[in-house]
Structure 1
Amino acid sequence: MALGLVARAALLVSTLGALAFILGIMAENKKPESVTSTTVNGITICHYPSDASISLGAAAVAVLFVTTCVALVALFFPYDGKHIPHSALWKNAAFTTFFVLSLAVYLTAEGLLLWTTISESMHHKQNKHYHLAADGCPTAKTGLFGGAAFLALDSTLFWLICLMLLGNAREDHFGMEDEASMKGIYAEIPHDSTVIPPANKV
Structure 2
Amino acid sequence: MLILFVGAMEVTTRQMSLLVGTFGVLSFILGVIAENKKPASGTPITGKDVVICKYPSDLTIALGYLSLVFLFISTLAGGFSLFYPYKGKSIPWPALFQSTSFFVFFLIALGSTGLAAAMLLWPTITEQKHRVSNVHYNLETTCPTAKTGLLGGGAFLALDAALFWLVSLMLADNAREDYFDDVKGAGGDALEYDADGVVKGSA
- Normalising by structure 2, report the TM-score: 0.85
Q: CA deviation at 1:69?
A: 0.5
- Indicate whether 1:160 and 2:162 are aligned: no
**Alpha-carbon distance in 1 for matches of 2:188, 2:75:** 38
Residue 31 of structure 2 corresponds to 24
Superposition deviation, residue 38 in structure 1:
1.1
Q: Give the 3 Å change call, closer, same or farther, for CA 132–71 of structure 1 in structure 2.
A: farther
Q: State the secondary structure of the residue aligned to 1:37.
A: strand
Between the aligned partners of 1:60 and 1:133, the Cα distance in structure 2 is 34
* C-alpha separation in 1, matches of 2:162 and 2:51: 43
Gaps of 5+ in 2: 1-10, 190-203
Pick from 97, 102, 127 the counterpart of residue 95 of structure 1. 102
TM-aligned CA deviation for residue 89 of structure 1: 0.9
Cα displacement string for residues 122-167 of structure 1 (whole angstroms, at most 9, x for unaligned residues): 0000001111555x11100111110000010110110000010011
Q: Say whether 1:5 aligns with 2:4.
A: no
Report the alpha carbon displacement of residue 33 of structure 1 after superposing the two structures with TM. Answer: 2.5
Matched, 1:63 2:70: yes
Tell me which moved more, 29-38 or 149-158.
29-38
1:73 alignment counterpart: 80
Work out whether 1:42 is the aligned partner of 2:49. Answer: yes
Q: Point out 4+ residue stretches in structure 1 off by more than 4 angstroms.
A: none
Q: Which amino acid aligns with 2:178?
A: D
- Measure how far apart 1:117 and its partner are: 0.7
User: After the TM superposition, which residues 100-119 of structure 1 pair with which residues of structure 2 at under 5 Å, given as runs?
Assistant: 100-119=107-126
**Residue in structure 2 matched with residue 130 of structure 1 by the alignment:** 137
* Partner of residue 175, structure 1: 181
Structure 1, residues 138-197: CA drift from partner, whole Å, max 9, x if none? 1001111100000101101100000100110011000111111179xxxxxxxxxxxxxx
Structure 1 spans left out of the alignment, 5+ residues: 184-202
Q: Distance in 1 between matches of 2:41 and 2:143?
A: 9
- Matches of 2:124 and 2:16 in 1, distance apart? 29
TM-aligned CA distance change 1:182 to 1:46, over 3 Å: closer
**Could you say which residue in structure 1 is the equivalent of 2:194?**
none
The corresponding residue for 1:198 is: none
Q: Residues 51 and 137 of structure 2 are in contact (CA less than 8 Å); yes or no, is this contact kept in structure 1?
A: yes
The residue identity in structure 2 corresponding to 1:155 is A
Cα RMSD for the two superposed structures: 1.5
SS of alignment partner, residue 87 of structure 2: coil
Cα deviation digits, residues 26-76 of structure 1 (max 9, x gap)? 000100124211111111100001011100001001010010001111111
SS at match of 1:80: helix
The CA distance in 2 between the partners of 1:132 and 1:86, in whole Å, is 60
